[in-house]
Structure 1
Amino acid sequence: MNALLGAAVAALVAAGLVPAVRRLAVRVGAVDLPGGRKIHAQPTPRWGGLAVVAGFGVGLAAWALLGGPPAWDRLLVPLVGGAAVFAAGLRDDVRPLAPGPKFAAQTLAALWALAFGWGFQQISLFGTTWTLPPALAALLTVLWIVGVTNAFNLVDGLDGLAAGVGLISAIGMAAVFALLGDTDNAAVLLVFAGALLGFLPFNFHPAKIFLGDSGSLVVGYVLAVSALGGSRRGASALAVGVPLLAFGVPILDTLLAMGRRFLGAWAESGGPGRPLVDRLRAARRMFEADRDHVHHRLLAQGLTHRGAVLTLYAVATTGVVLALLSVLARYRNVGLVLVALGVSVYVGLRQLGYRNPLELRAAQLLAWYEQRGLPRRFFWSVVDVALASAAYWGAFLIKFEGGVWRPEWSVYARGFPAVLALQVGVFALFGLQRTVWRATNVGDALRWALATLVAASVGAAAAMALEDRAGQATFFLLDGLLLLVLGLGVRSAYRVLAYLAQADDPRARPVLLYGAGHGGRLVLRELRQNPAWRMRAVGFVDDDPRLWGSEVNGLKVLGPSSRVAEFMARTGATAVVVTTDKIPVARVEGLRARLPEVAIGWLRLRWEPLVLEPAPRSEAARADR
């Protein structure tokens, strides 16, 4: 009840201060002018964060006076850390601040929370809990706080979006903490939700005032540290599943934006022959603004300004509901919920016009894969060291159910260098570093499998000789399996990316391939791998009824040539490509006669007979006889 009164006070204070804050913002020049990539048409004051922060502070004070928190650090962490990012945001709203100082303020605020013990301690997922080493826990804590803080800043692109999503997330996380019995964190989040609720009517479209960086950064920071605060009382699963669901909209939008900008700049910075350092400068583009966020995509789909915002409210609410359900299920299903949500996100992004999530064009990744910044043998040697290390310690985590700091750890750590050296040496003996893996085939895969078997066996023998671990066959079996899967995955990556890049250009002309035999497969492969043809196969046509309805190299055999007109209307094809000489010319001409308006042509690969003549003998050879 006291927390609800504090939330009411926060809402009243925030709403009451908005008119005064608007006048103050206009006086100091904290006004967002229309133009460029901006959507609004009228100059709008920015300093809405000042009203939210004031309401939050007064609401917390009211809650404390009414019998508030037993531990004052529950207030000190969000207030003092929030003040740091708030100050940076205020300055940025008046005059743009360089990314460096903004990130410095956010990092200091994250370290402040870390100093009070607010951070990752354990990670629970799929029913397993991992205790993190202190250094890794600190790093993840800083990355989490800075990342979520910026996520809410980036999502603040439509009237009421960041404030509304923040309100939904705050209420959802407050409910989570209430279910877990952490009433202090629940109360802090309720008061913060009250401040956002009081501000939101002035920020909803058409906005009278913007949240600004002074507000969006504070929203992200308070929510990020509040989620971490629960881990101090045993709510370790909050470190992974629940906040990811509750903060899903801004986190997803941030990942999409940063990935899209970086890969776009990487592709534009030059071909694979450019120096690696020049290509890495593309990372700067991740922080440049654009008009390709999720909310922009919704507007492009024809939604109104309010419609786009309400749609994202609904998505955020869905994430919060899933988070609550995962808590009620005691986190057992939170991992499965994340997987299911990931599939749903993929489908949704396709509907929004993202050809691939993050628009990770396979062609761009192929150029990245082909980068020649290091000699091939040295590069693959480094990769093999990383793979062998990952397999070894991955097997350890699986065997001991995620326990990192266990008594057995020191035993496995002592044997690790010898196992690593022997396994990488086996790979070198098999010549794996010399192989051109872009041309990998079944034989190369079998050679990797054999090398993995030998490497795992040699590593097991060495480890057992160094330590009395004769009963740890399960560990070395896991090590070998992980090494096999990781190695095949990495070394087949080029072929996988090449396959994904085959149909990467939707602007290519859609065509039907006439003939699904060997010639058809060769033509299909040529069209997919050679973009110069500017053709995209959308189906096979073949007169063999045994092939109808089947798939050849992932392309469906639609039916006989007598139904070409029907198939073209169904698939949108604009031409027919004949792929083999085995199709009688008369049948092709009959097809032309029936469909005079359709372009029909031949594209076939021929094998010319080759007669090898004996090589002429040299004069020296004749003289020897």
Structure 2
Amino acid sequence: MASLFLAFITSFISLQLLLKSPWRKRVVAYEDERSMHKGVIPRFGGIGIILGITVGWLMLGVDSWWLLLLLGLSIAFISFLDDLYQLPVWIRLAAQFIMSAVFVYFEFGFSVFSLAALLLISIVWMVNLYNFMDGLDGLAGGMAVFGFSTFAVAAYLAANDIVMLKAAFVVVAATLAFLRWNMHPARLFLGDVGSTSIGFIAAAFSFYGWREGMWPFWFPVVVFMPFIADATVTLLKRFFNGENIWQAHNKHYYQRLARMGWSHPSVSIAYYVAMACSAALAVLLLGSSFAIQLIGLGSFAVLISVVFMLIDWRWHRFQTQGISQSQRSVQNFEADEGFVKESNSVIPL
């Protein structure tokens, strides 16, 4: 319990101090046509989270967590530089691949190349996926709370692994402190330093649990399915449309819901419910037969697909109605202009 308390207190106090320091004006998110917020918001919340995780894990005193901690701090440092100086995409990706490769090499080895390549790509994707999905008040932080809480419960139920349980809850505690300022209307954003490091740690936990036999490979995918599905489907759609997938945008499903009139709390709660359902399903299927797992996972995949298709359909109607209203406004304006011109014209005698 001491490690959880220290993680929360460290995160809370460090963020409170940063919000009162000159840094609150140095690393900020500005409002633009793609953003989902108003005004200028500090975006260094991840600093408090990573500090809280560091203190909490050091309190656990487990040697096996040193590598993950150092690599997580390295990812956070590169992202911190990106928050400050807007690093080129290739530098960020190169650093992420290097850190991920180091993790895979020391934890799994490169003897099976196909497995190593799959792990490497999965980790880098999770790092960027979490960054992509950090765009709405309370969303990314809430997903971390649900996801790592599920890891903790599964580690205890499947293997009675107290260390894994405590390490996961340390992440939850540090994130809860950040959510104090991130719930709508947010006064603090996670920033790349937080989103990428949490994504990296989530991927590492996923593969730790799989390697130790706590859960099958599909378990973490189902746990984070709302995040993974939204980010992956959106990226694939943008890729096949010929768009720059690294350019900031507002086409994620959660962003479309907000743009169609859903409030930030409503969207976040909807995703919380989805995450809670996917986490519960993943835990329930752990001890089930292969046939039950197949039916459960297949049904869940169909449900996610139907929800996304409904959002796409509603978004298409929303855009069509918007265009129609714009056209009517233009026609009315032109008609009014014509009336004015006619009324102001000189009538010959």
Q: Normalised by the size of structure 1, how large is the TM-score?
A: 0.48
Q: Which amino acid aligns with 2:227?
A: P
- Equivalent residue number for residue 302 of structure 1: 261
Q: CA deviation at 1:236?
A: 5.8
Tell whether 2:27 aligns with 1:30: yes
- Equivalent residue number for residue 235 of structure 2: 258
Q: CA deviation at 1:41?
A: 1.1
- Alignment of structure 1 residues 453-468 onto 2, 5 Å: none
For the Cα contact (< 8 Å) 1:107–1:142, is it kept in 2?
yes
- Relative distance call for 1:77 and 1:191 in structure 2 (3 A) is same
Q: Partners of 1:355 and 1:51 in 2: how far apart?
A: 38
Tell whether 2:30 aligns with 1:53: no
- Equivalent residue number for residue 21 of structure 1: 18
- Equivalent residue number for residue 437 of structure 1: none
For the Cα contact (< 8 Å) 1:12–1:198, is it kept in 2?
yes
Greater RCO, CA 8 A, separation 6+: 2
- Relative distance call for 1:118 and 1:185 in structure 2 (3 A) is farther
- Equivalent residue number for residue 612 of structure 1: none
Q: Partners of 1:21 and 1:196 in 2: how far apart?
A: 16
- Alignment of structure 1 residues 58-77 onto 2, 5 Å: 58-64=55-61, 69=62, 72-73=63-64, 75-77=65-67
- Equivalent residue number for residue 349 of structure 1: 308
Q: Which amino acid aligns with 1:211?
A: L
For the Cα contact (< 8 Å) 1:299–1:305, is it kept in 2?
yes
Q: Partners of 1:319 and 1:114 in 2: how far apart?
A: 27
- Relative distance call for 1:155 and 1:331 in structure 2 (3 A) is farther
Q: CA deviation at 1:28?
A: 6.7
Tell whether 2:245 aligns with 1:286: yes
For the Cα contact (< 8 Å) 2:52–2:174, is it kept in 1?
yes
Deviations 1:212-250 (A, max 9, x none): 00000011111110110123323461x2x1111111122
- Relative distance call for 1:88 and 1:338 in structure 2 (3 A) is same
Q: Partners of 1:331 and 1:45 in 2: how far apart?
A: 47
Q: Which amino acid aligns with 2:75?
A: V
Q: CA deviation at 1:189?
A: 0.9
- Relative distance call for 1:289 and 1:329 in structure 2 (3 A) is same
- Relative distance call for 1:232 and 1:206 in structure 2 (3 A) is same
For the Cα contact (< 8 Å) 1:28–1:94, is it kept in 2?
no
- Relative distance call for 1:19 and 1:100 in structure 2 (3 A) is same
- Relative distance call for 1:335 and 1:102 in structure 2 (3 A) is farther
- Equivalent residue number for residue 170 of structure 2: 191
- Equivalent residue number for residue 292 of structure 2: 333
- Equivalent residue number for residue 95 of structure 1: 85
Higher strand proportion (structure 1 or 2): 1
Q: Which amino acid aligns with 1:97?
A: L
Q: Which amino acid aligns with 2:115?
A: A
Q: Partners of 1:96 and 1:8 in 2: how far apart?
A: 34
Secondary structure at the aligned position of 1:207 is classed as coil
- Equivalent residue number for residue 559 of structure 1: none
Deviations 1:573-607 (A, max 9, x none): xxxxxxxxxxxxxxxxxxxxxxxxxxxxxxxxxxx
For the Cα contact (< 8 Å) 1:78–1:226, is it kept in 2?
no
Unaligned runs of 5+ in 2: 322-349
- Equivalent residue number for residue 503 of structure 1: none
- Equivalent residue number for residue 151 of structure 1: 129
- Relative distance call for 1:331 and 1:94 in structure 2 (3 A) is farther
Higher helix proportion (structure 1 or 2): 2
Tell whether 2:61 aligns with 1:84: no
For the Cα contact (< 8 Å) 1:154–1:250, is it kept in 2?
no
Q: Which amino acid aligns with 1:242?
A: F
- Relative distance call for 1:264 and 1:192 in structure 2 (3 A) is same
Q: Partners of 1:38 and 1:314 in 2: how far apart?
A: 24
- Relative distance call for 1:92 and 1:186 in structure 2 (3 A) is same
Q: CA deviation at 1:77?
A: 2.8
Identical amino acids, percent of aligned pairs? 25
Q: Partners of 1:168 and 1:93 in 2: how far apart?
A: 26
Match of 1:106 among 79, 93, 96: 96
Secondary structure at the aligned position of 1:97 is classed as coil
Q: Partners of 1:249 and 1:24 in 2: how far apart?
A: 36
Q: CA deviation at 1:302?
A: 2.6
Match of 2:213 among 222, 225, 234: 234
- Relative distance call for 1:155 and 1:119 in structure 2 (3 A) is farther
- Relative distance call for 1:224 and 1:24 in structure 2 (3 A) is farther
Q: Partners of 2:85 and 2:137 in 1: how far apart?
A: 21
Secondary structure at the aligned position of 2:241 is classed as helix
Q: Partners of 1:201 and 1:177 in 2: how far apart?
A: 27
Q: CA deviation at 1:183?
A: 2.8
After TM superposition, the structure 1 stretch with the greater mean CA deviation from structure 2, 299-308 or 27-36, is: 27-36
Q: CA deviation at 1:18?
A: 1.1
For the Cα contact (< 8 Å) 2:215–2:286, is it kept in 1?
no
Q: CA deviation at 1:138?
A: 0.1
Q: CA deviation at 1:185?
A: 2.1
Tell whether 2:161 aligns with 1:202: no
Q: Partners of 1:35 and 1:114 in 2: how far apart?
A: 38
- Equivalent residue number for residue 456 of structure 1: none
- Alignment of structure 1 residues 267-416 onto 2, 5 Å: 285-329=244-288, 333-354=292-313
- Relative distance call for 1:355 and 1:287 in structure 2 (3 A) is farther
Q: Which amino acid aligns with 2:293?
A: V
- Equivalent residue number for residue 247 of structure 1: 224
Q: Partners of 2:143 and 2:87 in 1: how far apart?
A: 25
- Equivalent residue number for residue 170 of structure 1: 148
- Equivalent residue number for residue 120 of structure 2: 142
Q: Partners of 1:25 and 1:191 in 2: how far apart?
A: 28
Q: CA deviation at 1:118?
A: 4.5
Q: Partners of 1:25 and 1:165 in 2: how far apart?
A: 29
For the Cα contact (< 8 Å) 1:154–1:254, is it kept in 2?
yes
Q: Partners of 1:160 and 1:23 in 2: how far apart?
A: 21
Q: Which amino acid aligns with 2:30?
A: L
Q: CA deviation at 1:209?
A: 1.0
RMSD: 2.3
Q: Partners of 1:200 and 1:118 in 2: how far apart?
A: 34
Q: Partners of 1:345 and 1:119 in 2: how far apart?
A: 35
Q: Which amino acid aligns with 1:312?
A: Y
- Relative distance call for 1:331 and 1:321 in structure 2 (3 A) is farther
For the Cα contact (< 8 Å) 2:154–2:214, is it kept in 1?
no
- Relative distance call for 1:330 and 1:95 in structure 2 (3 A) is farther
- Relative distance call for 1:209 and 1:116 in structure 2 (3 A) is same
For the Cα contact (< 8 Å) 1:153–1:217, is it kept in 2?
yes
Q: Which amino acid aligns with 1:90?
A: F
Count of residues in Structure 1 that have an aligned counterpart in Structure 2:
317
- Alignment of structure 1 residues 543-622 onto 2, 5 Å: none
Q: Normalised by the size of structure 2, how large is the TM-score?
A: 0.85
